[in-house]
Amino acid sequence: MQFGIFSVSDITRDPVSGKTPSEAERIDAILKIAVKAEEVGLDAFAIGEHHNPPFFSSSPTTLLAHIAALTERLVLTTATTLITTNDPVRIAEEYAMLQHLSKGRMDLMLGRGNTAPVYPWFGQDIRQGLAIALENYNLLHRLWREDVVDWEGQFRTALQGFTSTPRPLDDVPPFVWHGSIRTPEIAEQAAFYGNGFFANHIFWPTSHSKRLIDFYRQRFEHYGHGTKKQAIVGVGGQAYIAKRSQDAVKEFRPYFDEAPVYGHGPTLEEFTKGTPLTVGSPQEVIDKTLTFHDAFGDYQRQMFLVDHAGMPLNMVLDQLELLGGEVVPVLRKELASRRDPESADAPTHAGRVAAKYGDGPARQPRPNANRGDNVTGASPYQDSDASAEYPGLG
């Protein structure tokens, strides 16, 4: 089981101090949060993708590459890479580069996003969002597995003889999670390809997430990737932790009451009762997180949202100390004791390389020579099929 944190990269007014951080301050803070996550023993850090205020993370790969340089073992991932409004060619190239720079310490979670105006900004129609997501991932999947791709679809220009560079590290594509709040078609897509499914599991009751996870497991087995128990599941969650539960409630209440994401609707007590949000002592967070396992069975990654709603940096760092020092060690031990030996391990680059090559050497693509027009000729790599032809190049 991997434990980590994720950020949606919001820049929100602190309701206690009245201060709204600048973009520069928030970006500096997220670097400190990621480094702290590794220091306290967490396994993964994820950042969202947004292209509008009040968010700052418009370029996740740039941010994650910098964090990779600041850390040594933290798995770097996304809390959504927009498969709908990003060109899958650019996703293939940028995340393969991140995979090389991080030495394999990365994966990514694909999603459609929930900000309607973003679609026309990038030349897309939100009414086609699901169809775009399905088509774009079909192309992305091929770009990481085929040296030369010919492709034609509905939502981008056709490709003829296209090679995405760099090739994935060790010729093993980054692991992909498909994230969803409510869409069974996305769970179906994850199952079809044998990829991971990530249940958002923040604003909805556990019973809602369980329906999607159970459906994904059934379809994963149906497509022949393994048993239901071997399906790869990630789960979101959110927590605010203090040594004493009454202090946690007192400290978090102003942030809850003023946060736009909570809708100024249910009370804090109502929300914690009906959703995965936990506000309390380390033991209360442990107890509620274990109920997720009761509902979902073994799963591979648990991510917590801890830095939203305008909470200042020092408060977030204190949360990480408690999460890494008092919550996660107990969860690791307890969940390990419950683990079914048939369940899949958490995905890692090393594990995927071993699964592909065994004890043999990994492929290291070496391009053929530039023939003078910035093209390598009939085949892009020295170990490619020499009989292959690029259309129009002879």
pLDDT digits (tens, 9 = 90+) for 26-85: 999 999 999 999 999 999 999 999 999 999 999 999 999 999 999 999 999 999 999 998
Listed residue (1, 42, 111, 2) closest to 307, CA to CA: 42
Residues paired with residue 303 on neighbouring β-strands, in sequence order: 4
pTM of the model: 0.94
Query: 309's torsion region: left (phi>0), alpha (psi -120 to 50) or beta?
Result: left
At 47, list the tokens: 């950042």
Which run of H or of E encompasses 5?
strand 2-7
Residues in the chain, pLDDT under 70: 263, 371-378, 385-394
For the chain, give the percent of residues with pLDDT over 70: 95
Return d(Cα 391, Cα 150) in angstroms, integer.
Answer: 9
At 236, list the tokens: 């979101």
Token pair 């019973």 in the structure block, residue: 207
**Residue 128: DSSP 8-state:** G
Q: What is the pLDDT of residue 389?
A: 45
Listed residue (44, 70, 149, 153) closest to 380, CA to CA: 149
Amino acid at 1: M
**Contact in structure between 71 and 35 (CB atoms under 8 Å):** yes
Amino acid at 25: E
Which run of H or of E encompasses 78?
strand 75-78
Q: Which domains does the chain have, with CATH numbers?
A: 2-357 (3.20.20.30)
**Residue 209: DSSP 8-state:** H
Q: What is the pLDDT of residue 387?
A: 41
**Contact in structure between 299 and 198 (CB atoms under 8 Å):** no
Listed residue (275, 326, 296) closest to 232, CA to CA: 296
Q: What is the pLDDT of residue 116?
A: 76
**Contact in structure between 238 and 8 (CB atoms under 8 Å):** no
Buried b (16+ CB within 10 A) or exposed e, 242-255: beebeebbebbbeb
Q: What is the pLDDT of residue 378?
A: 63
Return d(Cα 352, Cα 331) in angstroms, integer.
Answer: 25
Q: Where are the beta strands (DSSP E) in 112-195?
A: 149-151, 159-162, 175-180
Which run of H or of E encompasses 80?
none
Other residues' Cβ atoms within 10 Å of the Cβ of residue 107: 27
**Contact in structure between 12 and 309 (CB atoms under 8 Å):** yes
Q: What is the pLDDT of residue 128?
A: 87
Strand, helix or coil for residue 301: strand
Up-side HSE of residue 76: CA atoms within 13 Å toward CB? 29
pLDDT digits (tens, 9 = 90+) for 135-162: 999 999 999 999 999 999 999 999 999 9
Cβ burial of 326 (10 Å; 0-12, 13-18, 19+) is: middle
Q: What is the pLDDT of residue 376?
A: 62
Q: How far apart are the first and last CA of the chain?
A: 51
Token pair 């933290």 in the structure block, residue: 74
Q: What is the pLDDT of residue 374?
A: 64
Return d(Cα 138, Cα 123) in angstroms, integer.
Answer: 19
**Contact in structure between 237 and 303 (CB atoms under 8 Å):** yes
Return d(Cα 280, Cα 294) in angstroms, integer.
Answer: 20
Strand, helix or coil for residue 124: coil
